[in-house]
Structure 1
Amino acid sequence: MAAAVSGDVKDLALAALGLERINWAERDMPVLRAIRERFDAEKPLAGMKMSACLHVTAETANLARTLVAGGADLVLVASNPLSTQDDVAASLVQDFNIPVYAIKGEDESSYYRHIAAALKHSPNVTMDDGADLVSAMIFIALNRLDDLHPELKAWAKTLSAAERTGLVENVVASMEETTTGVIRLRAMEKDGVLKLPVIAVNDAETKHFFDNRYGTGQSTLDGVIRATDMLLAGRRVVVCGYGWCGKGVASRAKGLGAHVIVTEVNPVRGLEAAMDGFEVMDISKAATTGDLFITVTGNIHVIREEHFALMKDGAMICNSGHFNVELALDSLEKIATTTNKKVREFVDEYVLSDGRKLYVLGEGRLINLAAAHGHPASVMDMSFATQALATEWSIKQKGELKNAVYNVPKAVDQWVAALKLQTMGIAIDTLTEEQRKYLNSWEIGT
């Protein structure tokens, strides 16, 4: 059957497999399913044109279905060239009539051509996983076309001045679900160039406490193991960064028997890692001893030329931060005498002048999505439920939000967590009237 909508996916013949994967994920996403049922009845997103730049996975597909059920006119594009599940993308087009522009392994030009497709949709609401979509809109609105990729620049040059500013002026709000993206957006706000309201979904408790910690922790090591078949027990695993993602990776690696070393630039987090029982040292020292390096900082060039030069033969290096900039791979290319791409799927070998071999996993991109399937559906159930409800909330606030970064309302966090507990068959206590009064008073002491 021919696709009923536009899009750019690898092969529509993969749709049947994608539908199976989407349905399997849905089984473990009861909170999002409950929201979809309500959205289908109430249509709170009716009349909204939405563009979402996200990892195109089975879990994301169920978010997309929820948004469409709510009445949104949605276009979905990939937020990372290696994270797309091609069968899922095909199913979204063929089975759910959602335009998708995403192909696993797409080159840079294709990636930005797909970003342009999302912008051409003239969205009223956007969703970002890393802020690439909003960043493109801001550069266009500021007429900074030379800062755009050539694919985006060529399209932006066809727009009138009013159309360029209209791209952001027509946006009610944007949802951002990554630490990296929130960092970029807060920097835009600080510099006075943020031209639309943003909801920092990543900062919601039902997102980063669970998605970042338990999701990233499990899926990162899943990606490493799939790519390498390595036994983590007894290995020295260096985790660069001890935010919520780093905490998750470190604890899961420790649970698998690894000797975990943490590197940090934040003294409080470094102290926390030490008191959590991990060895803490600077990256220069860790570089000499690590068997596996995992960056999860959201920063640029965390592992650089001087660190690659210190690593022992056979060291493996990967990244689980959103962008591939955490590893300075250009400098590794420079000092390597030989580069053997794909000695194993998702493994590139770099041979240094003294014969030492270093292995980069997943081209330095998100290892949990490049070599594995990303976070388990159960944890994404909460993240995407929060995402959907934050979208509904922001639309209700239309015209009242300033061009700033907002937190998700506390009531949304509480509702998602309560329903998640309910679906897990877990009951918790409720405050008595006496306890409620005590917590809201000051008169009662010892």
Structure 2
Amino acid sequence: MNMVSESIVKDMALAHNGHLKIDWVKEHMPVLNRIRERFEKEQPFAGLKVAISLHLEAKTAYLAKVVQAGGAEVTITGSNPLSTQDDVCAALVEDGIRVFAKYNPDPAEYKEHMIKTLETRPDLIIDDGGDLVTILHSERRDLLSQVRGGAEETTTGILRLKALEKEGKLEFPMVAVNDAFCKYLFDNRYGTGQSVWDGINRTTNLVVAGKTVVVVGYGWCGKGVAMRAKGLGAKVIVTEIDAIKAVEAYMDGFEVMPMSEAAKHGDYFVTVTGNRDVIRKEHFEVMKDGAILSNAGHFDVEVNKVELEALSTSRRIVRKDIEEFVMADGRKVYLLAEGRLVNLAAGDGHPAEIMDMTFALQAVSLAYVNEQYKAIGKQVLNVPYELDAMVAQYKLEALGIGIDKLTDEQKAYLDSWVE
């Protein structure tokens, strides 16, 4: 197969720089390297086609190469128009992976790339936000029959999958990778926490210390964003709809209040809810002059851009990835990265060492669902604990850290109700 002629990328001349990026992350992903060694020997995907939709940058590219090393014919597309890196796409094509992706395509092109990826008739999929699954279950049901199952990366995607499952419409098993311990404890918390502020700081070049940061949503991603904001010297306010999470945020030392009140105080706003319109008209109307809005949820619907534009008298790009909206009273409100994922649309995403664990989970979960898809049936399932623990053990070994093991007597004691 000629992957150059079969792919859609911006410029194959960019491939050299893409290879350098992929080589760099490979050096910092020891867990995934170990999985790759296993896959090269065991060939779990021999003769199968795998379709991947993820943020298409270097770490994702290396995951694609690991799946390819397991015997798969891999096709990949981006899961966000502003996170695709054109040089990485070109490098993957040179490495024999079919790519349908460009940075910042128009909406029609973006959808076309998704559909072309599915038209390769994959046996397995790796999805981000449920986009591939949604297309398969709606307008392209003709491509469903060959799909054995797959794995989902995000909270948003799992919500969509569970809605399908609840309605009895899910047509194949999907592993909820986002709900694994090694995903939400490390990727969602430490990965999102660091990469969100990497993206904001790189884009704005403004100080965080002494400012007020409003974190909208206190799930694992929100916890990470709030923790890092505090570490940068900010005062942190958390808004929540869940009473338990709100108490947790309070106990963690943060102020908790409704968005209607928090909107008056924030210098920076970061949304991490997975829901729509969590910052909207009534909030824009009371914000400070110079408030900076950003989103770290999957879709660009958390900040209501339609209402923001309707309230403004003018708008302009004032710096790369910063759009200024001038209100009728002269206040200026700034939106980062078009309201898309600020850590990827305006940054390089999570650190390689963090994505090492998440993408190792993706790889082993994909192999698991391929082995067990008939027995699993049409459901959303958690990553088996033994796979989660295996990835954690590989990480410890890569770090040179040892831990204790139970003795036979201790195991017997824990399994007994008699002292």
Whether TM-score is above 0.5 comes out as yes
Out of 263, 278, 282, which is 1:302 matched to?
278
**Structure 2 counterpart of 1:414:** 389
Q: Could you tell me whether the CA contact under 8 Å between 2:152 and 2:176 is conserved in 1? A: yes
Aligned-pair RMSD on alpha carbons?
A: 1.0
In structure 1, what residue type is equivalent to 2:16? A
| Distance in 2 of aligned mates of 1:337 and 1:30 | 52
The 10-residue stretch of structure 1 (355-364 or 401-410) with the greater mean CA deviation from structure 2: 401-410
Q: Mind listing any 5+ residue stretches in structure 2 that lack a counterpart?
A: none
The 10-residue stretch of structure 1 (396-405 or 358-367) with the greater mean CA deviation from structure 2: 396-405
**1:169 offset after TM fit, Å?**
2.6
**Structure 2 counterpart of 1:143:** none
In structure 2, what residue type is equivalent to 1:81? P
**1:355 offset after TM fit, Å?**
0.5
Out of 178, 188, 195, which is 1:212 matched to?
188
Q: Measured at CA, do residues 170 and 85 of structure 1 come closer, stay the same or move farther in structure 2, by a change above 3 Å?
A: same
Equivalent position SS for 1:443: coil
Equivalent position SS for 1:180: helix
Task: Write the deviation string for residues 198-221 of structure 1: whole angstroms up to 9, x where unpaired.
Answer: 110111111111100000000000
**Structure 2 counterpart of 1:202:** 178
Find out whether 1:379 has 2:354 as its counterpart: yes
| Distance in 1 of aligned mates of 2:279 and 2:166 | 28
**1:398 offset after TM fit, Å?**
3.1
| Distance in 2 of aligned mates of 1:312 and 1:4 | 50
Find out whether 1:363 has 2:338 as its counterpart: yes
**Structure 2 counterpart of 1:322:** 298
**Structure 2 counterpart of 1:36:** 36
TM-score by length of 1: 0.92
**1:121 offset after TM fit, Å?**
0.7
**Structure 2 counterpart of 1:77:** 77
| Distance in 2 of aligned mates of 1:6 and 1:30 | 32
Where do 4+ consecutive residues of structure 1 move more than 4 Å? 2-5
| Distance in 2 of aligned mates of 1:265 and 1:442 | 40
Find out whether 1:232 has 2:208 as its counterpart: yes
What does residue range 172-211 of structure 1 map to in structure 2 within 5 Å?
A: 172-211=148-187
Equivalent position SS for 2:206: coil
**1:5 offset after TM fit, Å?**
5.2
In structure 1, what residue type is equivalent to 2:83? S
In structure 2, what residue type is equivalent to 1:268? I
| Distance in 2 of aligned mates of 1:61 and 1:37 | 17
| Distance in 2 of aligned mates of 1:397 and 1:407 | 13
**Structure 2 counterpart of 1:160:** none
| Distance in 2 of aligned mates of 1:412 and 1:65 | 20
**Structure 2 counterpart of 1:129:** 128
TM-score by length of 2: 0.98
Equivalent position SS for 1:359: strand
In structure 2, what residue type is equivalent to 1:333? E
In structure 1, what residue type is equivalent to 2:299? F
**1:13 offset after TM fit, Å?**
1.0
In structure 2, what residue type is equivalent to 1:47? G
Task: Write the deviation string for residues 338-397 of structure 1: whole angstroms up to 9, x where unpaired.
Answer: 011x21000000000011000000000000001110000000000000100001111111
Q: Could you tell me whether the CA contact under 8 Å between 1:5 and 1:98 is conserved in 2? A: no
Out of 430, 434, 444, which is 2:405 matched to?
430
**Structure 2 counterpart of 1:101:** 100
Find out whether 1:251 has 2:241 as its counterpart: no
| Distance in 1 of aligned mates of 2:373 and 2:197 | 41
What does residue range 36-75 of structure 1 map to in structure 2 within 5 Å?
A: 36-75=36-75
Equivalent position SS for 2:137: helix
Q: Could you tell me whether the CA contact under 8 Å between 1:5 and 1:99 is conserved in 2? A: no
| Distance in 1 of aligned mates of 2:99 and 2:211 | 41
Out of 267, 274, 285, which is 1:291 matched to?
267
**1:128 offset after TM fit, Å?**
0.5
Q: Could you tell me whether the CA contact under 8 Å between 2:16 and 2:87 is conserved in 1? A: yes
Q: Could you tell me whether the CA contact under 8 Å between 2:3 and 2:97 is conserved in 1? A: no
Equivalent position SS for 2:165: helix
| Distance in 2 of aligned mates of 1:257 and 1:178 | 29
Q: Could you tell me whether the CA contact under 8 Å between 1:237 and 1:259 is conserved in 2? A: yes
Alignment coverage as a number of residue pairs:
418
**Structure 2 counterpart of 1:347:** 322
Task: Write the deviation string for residues 310-359 of structure 1: whole angstroms up to 9, x where unpaired.
Answer: 1010000000001111110001111111011x210000000000110000
In structure 1, what residue type is equivalent to 2:88? V
